[in-house]
Amino acid sequence: MNDSLRLQQLLQFHSESPNDAFLLFALGKEYEKLGNTEMALDFYQKIVATMPDYVGVYYHLGKLLEKTEHPAKAIEAYKSGMAIAQKIGDRHALSELAEAKLELDDE
């Protein structure tokens, strides 16, 4: 399936289920893959604002903020994700977020 068809399909699913965190995340990843960082950030930030316990978004949000040269915002995303991961008991996410933060802090 080509990128534009996949994006159109995801947008159709999103119109049917606008509050589905997985679809919002998938759209963010698709826009990121297409090089549209602004739209990717919008989708990731919507998840953080409306479904903050969706812990998987924080790593990707942080990495995208790093890529767009916003290291302080990336660190905040990692810290927020770490707090959520601790709250919900997701040790794997906590470890990944802590490692990403540590790597960025070391630079």
Q: How far apart are CA 26 and CA 58, in angstroms?
A: 14
Domain 3-106 has CATH 3.40.50.150: no
Confidence (pLDDT) at 51? 95
According to DSSP, residue 14 is labeled: H
Domain residue ranges of the chain, discontinuous segments joined by +: 3-106
Q: Name the nearest CA neighbour of 84 among 98, 69, 105, 71.
A: 98
Alpha carbon separation from 75 to 20, 50, 71, 101 (Å, rounded): 26, 20, 6, 6
What local confidence, expressed as pLDDT, does residue 105 receive? Answer: 84
Task: Dig out the tokens for 79 from the structure.
Answer: 């810290």
Mean per-residue pLDDT pooled into runs of 10, the chain (107 residues)? 86 93 95 95 96 96 96 97 97 97 87
Residue bearing tokens 């995208």:
64
